[in-house]
Structure formats: structure tokens, C-alpha cells
């Protein structure tokens, strides 16, 4: 079988050159004899590839990333939402930094892991942009929990507005062209667009056209970010919304909602197509990279164990922090200030923190599953 694959191309050449079928048959025959040697060459090529896999992240970029700019929702926000948001209330942040600090998790989130991969500290939230120049050296995080590509049910700047914040800082020379040519952007959102769509009674017949409009607007925005001079733009494929505890609660956290996951797949397929198109239209043919949250969440759920240092969660779909009944949620208190939620014994044993967000350990496992894609950055 490998010999067939190997001979196909030279035979085609022979056909074109000589128009001689006999020649091409002979050529195939000779090549299949030689294929033993070819296989050896093939394995040395693999070996070579293996070495590439172990390059340090600095080399993987062909440039040294000096800044990370982040746009998105609660998967990426590291503190932009106002202090009334639950990300600023107990028990959020109990694992890292040890107290509520604006992240929608018990600890670190996607942004922190991507920053680590890029070789930078997690960039400061936009909210703290006035703290001083030395705080801006790792870039900036414009992500706000609850937001979307379009306006969502939660108040907060949509993606277009987040990019406008960035554009104003560039205009004011807070970030210069030199900063941008060696920078990476992380874009992670769209889940809230679909929540808002179903909360607003959007019909399932119109869902396809809504998906198209979300991906179209996202594409426009990705182009704008790259057009500002950002060298690499990493955008997340949507997570399996049907596997979030808010969807699996009806099955006692046993089963993902297949119909929700199938529209997520439509979104992701469309996103892959537009990203391929963007790369084809761009001088650097790998300027845009997809971080596949769908595949990485699924591979963690399936406990494939094929990622080094991956965690096996006992029931990956069950959240650590839950309201005591359906009218309460993680962090709920009654009028007297009494806790109306429970926290699992060990947050490190849970993939999900609350009904929507992974724990720090969950994100760490996702990050480990994302490694091969991150290396394309």
C-alpha cells in the first residue's frame, strides 16, 4: 500500500512527459521495488518531525512574542468585569490567587495558560490600563465575562468595542507598531451569542443564519485585529456547549446535549473555513490559528490519556461548585448572607468549576490537550 502512494506521483509525471502507459507501468513497478528504501527515508523524516516537536516555544514562532492581546468573554477575562460580578466574589479564586480576583474559575483561566505558552506573564486587564507603563509590558486583556461578538444579555463591551479600546490605545501610542509586529492575539468568545439567541427565543429554523452572522462578524473582527499589525491571531473554536453542566444537569451530569453540540459543530466548521480563507489571503499563511476548544474539551472528557500530564477526572461533567437547589448557583447567598451553594472537597478533582466554567485544573488539562495546536502559533 505505501508503495502505491509513493509511485503515483512520479508515474503521473512519466505519463505527461512520454504519453506512454507502458513507461508509467514500468515506473510503478520499479518504484515498488525501490519502496523498501523509501520507507526507510520515510521513517527518518518522521524522526526529523519528532525533533521539531521538542523545539522551545520561542523558536516555534519564528519571532519572540513580546505582547499578548486578548479579546473575549469569561473564558478569557482576568478581571475586567466590575466588582459586582460573581468573579469578584467568594468562592471564585480560592485556588489561585487564593481569594476572589476577577476570574470566572477557582483559579487560572485560558488566558493565563496561553500567556505561559507564549512565554509572557498574563497581561493586565484593560480596566487597570492607567496603572503605569511598566504594567503594560506583557500586553493587555480586553475580555469581559458575559460578552459576545454581538451584544448579549449581560452588559459589557461586545467584541467590536473591545477592539475599539485597543485601537484607541494604539492611536495614543500606548502600544506602538514595534510592539504589534511581535505580538500575538487570543480571541475567545461566541458562546454567549448563542445563549442570548436562545434566551431571546431565537427559532431553531433561523439558527443557521444566526451562526452565519456570528461567524461573519467574527471574521471581520479577526481581520481588523491582524490589520492593526498583530502578527499572529489565535481564535478558539467554540467549546461543546451541550457538555456544559448547565446543559447536562437534566441527566445528572451524565450526558452531553447532542443537538446543542451539533450546532456548535456547524459554527466550528464555518470558522475553520473562514480561517483557511483568511490565511490564504494573507502574506503570512499561518497568521490565523484555531485553538480547538471543542476537540480539547472532548478529549479530556473521554480521558484518552494521550496527553502527557493529563488529568483523569472522575466525572468530568459534574461541577465542583453548585447551588443547593436550581434557584441558586455557585456563590449564591440568601438575604441573611447564608451560603446557598456547596463546593467539592478538592477542586483539582473536578473539570468544571460552576455550570459554565472549567476549574484551573480543567483549564490545565485543556491546555495540555491544546499543545499540538499551540505549536502552530
Ligand X SMILES: *[C@@H]1O[C@H](CO)[C@@H](O)[C@H](O)[C@H]1NC(C)=O
Determine whether 182 is an active site residue. no
Q: Which of 74, 122, 183, 247 is catalytic?
A: 74
The verdict on 151 binding ligand X (CB under 6 A) reads: yes
Least distance CB 331 / ligand X (angstroms): 24
Cell 484518552 identifies what position? 304
Determine whether 206 is an active site residue. no
Q: Name, in order, each residue with C-beta under 8 angstroms of 320's C-beta and a sequence gap of 6 or more.
A: 106, 343, 344, 347, 349, 350, 352, 353, 354, 359
Site residues for ligand X, 239-258, by CB under 6 A, read: 250, 257
The verdict on 280 binding ligand X (CB under 6 A) reads: yes
Which range binds ligand X by CB under 6 A, 17-25, 26-34, 79-87, 153-161? 153-161
Which range binds ligand X by CB under 6 A, 20-28, 92-100, 273-281, 344-352? 273-281
d(CA 133, CA 183): 17
Q: Are strands 288-292 and 232-237 parallel, antiparallel or unpaired?
A: parallel
Which range binds ligand X by CB under 6 A, 22-30, 275-283, 302-310, 326-334? 275-283
The verdict on 260 binding ligand X (CB under 6 A) reads: yes
Site residues for ligand X, 173-232, by CB under 6 A, read: 198, 200-201, 217
- Which one of 152, 158, 162, 236 is in contact with ligand X (CB under 6 A)? 158
Which range binds ligand X by CB under 6 A, 50-58, 158-166, 323-331, 354-362? 158-166
Bond preceding residue 348 cis, omega within 30 of 0: no
Burial string for 98-123 (b: 16+ CB within 10 Å, else e) reads: eebebbbbbbbbbbbbbbebbebebb
d(CA 350, CA 370): 19
d(CA 350, CA 354): 10
The verdict on 161 binding ligand X (CB under 6 A) reads: yes
Determine whether 74 is an active site residue. yes
Q: Are 134 and 111 in contact (CB under 8 A)?
A: no
The verdict on 297 binding ligand X (CB under 6 A) reads: no
φ and ψ at residue 139, rounded to 5 degrees? 105, -150
Q: Which residues are catalytic?
A: 74, 354, 357
- Give the footprint of ligand X on this chain (CB under 6 A): 150-151, 158, 160-161, 198, 200-201, 217, 250, 257, 259-260, 276-277, 280
Amino acid at each position: 500500500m505505501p508503495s502505491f502512494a509513493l509511485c503515483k506521483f512520479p508515474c503521473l509525471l512519466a505519463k505527461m512527459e512520454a504519453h506512454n502507459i507502458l513507461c508509467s507501468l514500468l515506473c510503478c513497478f520499479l518504484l515498488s521495488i525501490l519502496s523498501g528504501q523509501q520507507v526507510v527515508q520515510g521513517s527518518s523524516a518522521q524522526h526529523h518531525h519528532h525533533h521539531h516537536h521538542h523545539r522551545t516555544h520561542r523558536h516555534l514562532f519564528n519571532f519572540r512574542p513580546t505582547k499578548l492581546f486578548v479579546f473575549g468573554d469569561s473564558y478569557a477575562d482576568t478581571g475586567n468585569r466590575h466588582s459586582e460580578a460573581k468573579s469578584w466574589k467568594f468562592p471564585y479564586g480560592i485556588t489561585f490567587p487564593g481569594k476572589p480576583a476577577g476570574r470566572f474559575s477557582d483559579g487560572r483561566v485560558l488566558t493565563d495558560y496561553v500567556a505561559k505558552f507564549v512565554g509572557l506573564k498574563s497581561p493586565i486587564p484593560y480596566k487597570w490600563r492607567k496603572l503605569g507603563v511598566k504594567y503594560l509590558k506583557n500586553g493587555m486583556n480586553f475580555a469581559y465575562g458575559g460578552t459576545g461578538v454581538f451584544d448579549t444579555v449581560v452588559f459589557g463591551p461586545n467584541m467590536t468595542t473591545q477592539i475599539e479600546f485597543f485601537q484607541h490605545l494604539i492611536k495614543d501610542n500606548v502600544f506602538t507598531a514595534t510592539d504589534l509586529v511581535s505580538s500575538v492575539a487570543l480571541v475567545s468568545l461566541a458562546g454567549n451569542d448563542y445563549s442570548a439567541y436562545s434566551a431571546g427565543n431565537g427559532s431553531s429554523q433561523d439558527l443557521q443564519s444566526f451562526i452565519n452572522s456570528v461567524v461573519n462578524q467574527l471574521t471581520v473582527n479577526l481581520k481588523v485585529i491582524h490589520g492593526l499589525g498583530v502578527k499572529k491571531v489565535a481564535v478558539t473554536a467554540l467549546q461543546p456547549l451541550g457538555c456544559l453542566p448547565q446543559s447536562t444537569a437534566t441527566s445528572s451530569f451524565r450526558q452531553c446535549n447532542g443537538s446543542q453540540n451539533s450546532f456548535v459543530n456547524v459554527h466550528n466548521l464555518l470558522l475553520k473555513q473562514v480561517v483557511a480563507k483568511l490565511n490564504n489571503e494573507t502574506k503570512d499563511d499561518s497568521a490565523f490559528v484555531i485553538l480547538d476548544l471543542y476537540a480539547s474539551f472532548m478529549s479530556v472528557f473521554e480521558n484518552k490519556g494521550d496527553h502527557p500530564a493529563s488529568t483523569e477526572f472522575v466525572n468530568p461533567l459534574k461541577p465542583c461548585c453548585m447551588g443547593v437547589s436550581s434557584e441558586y448557583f455557585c456563590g449564591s447567598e440568601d438575604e441573611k448572607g447564608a451560603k446557598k451553594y456547596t463546593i467539592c472537597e478538592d477542586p483539582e478533582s473536578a473539570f468544571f468549576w460552576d455550570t459554565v466554567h472549567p476549574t484551573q485544573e480543567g483549564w490545565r488539562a485543556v491546555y495540555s490537550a491544546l499543545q499540538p495546536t499551540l505549536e502552530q502559533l
